[in-house]
Copies of this chain bind each other. A is one copy, B any other.
């Protein structure tokens, strides 16, 4: 296929497809059609085929997609075929939940360092990782860590982000309810639980 601009929306959906595929893989399903995948997510089959087509032709006409092969392809597209190391800043309640969250593994993520500024926490261990002083963030330079997870109070978020960027982090998952400014080369995704919840009542007929 000749080059065409790939919609961000398509990229956005790939991890969703991937999760479905990995689930099918667990069930030892060998092939899957765009129709099956679509039913699974509640989208249209042509959307899925089109999304894939931006990146190449992965299926077999008349048959469908090889689950194993397709999931490998998508991982490669998303840069998930190599495992990624992440650093977590903020070892509070939220931080502990993130550390314990099993879901990262299936995409090949590993949190290999944890920092906090609370002297009481520094030195302690959670999930077998010892918490280090955030002022020593430069320690991560020795490791190949390219992702940062911010789980600190809002006021500290920007400062932490700045430090992470200094250390060469390329992507940030931000749990603080605020926008953080970073150089364009760094990708930030912010998760704001309260804001997501705030989107629900609009769709609810006022009682």
Taking the complex as formed, is A207 at the interface, i.e. its CB lies under 8 A from any CB of chain B? yes
Contacts of A15 in B (CB 8 A): 195, 198-199
Contacts of A12 in B (CB 8 A): 199
Which residue of A79, A109, A206 has the most chain B CB atoms within 10 A of its CB atom? A79
Q: Write out, one digit per residue, whether chain A residues 37-60 have a CB within 8 A of any chain B CB (1) or not (0).
A: 000111000000000000000000
Contacts of A171 in B (CB 8 A): 200-201, 203-204
Contacting pair A204 B146 (CB below 8 A): yes
Q: A residues within 8 Å of B by Cβ?
A: 11-12, 14-16, 18-19, 40-42, 77-80, 82, 84, 86, 93-94, 96-98, 100-101, 103-104, 106-107, 109, 144, 146-147, 149, 170-173, 177, 179, 181, 187, 189, 191-207
13 examples of A-B residue contacts, CB within 8 angstroms: A11-B202, A15-B198, A16-B195, A40-B179, A77-B202, A78-B199, A101-B193, A104-B193, A107-B195, A107-B198, A109-B197, A170-B205, A187-B204
Contacts of A177 in B (CB 8 A): 19, 103
Contacting pair B19 A79 (CB below 8 A): no
Q: Tell me which of B97, B172, B207 contacts A93 (CB under 8 A).
A: B97
- Minimum CB distance partner of A105 in chain B: B194
The smallest C-beta distance from A203 to any residue of chain B, in angstroms, reads 4
The smallest C-beta distance from A168 to any residue of chain B, in angstroms, reads 10
Complex: how many Å from CA A101 to CA B146? Answer: 28
Complex: how many Å from CA A190 to CA B80? Answer: 22
Contacts of A172 in B (CB 8 A): 200
Which residue of A173, A187, A198 has the most chain B CB atoms within 10 A of its CB atom? A198
Contacts of A14 in B (CB 8 A): 202
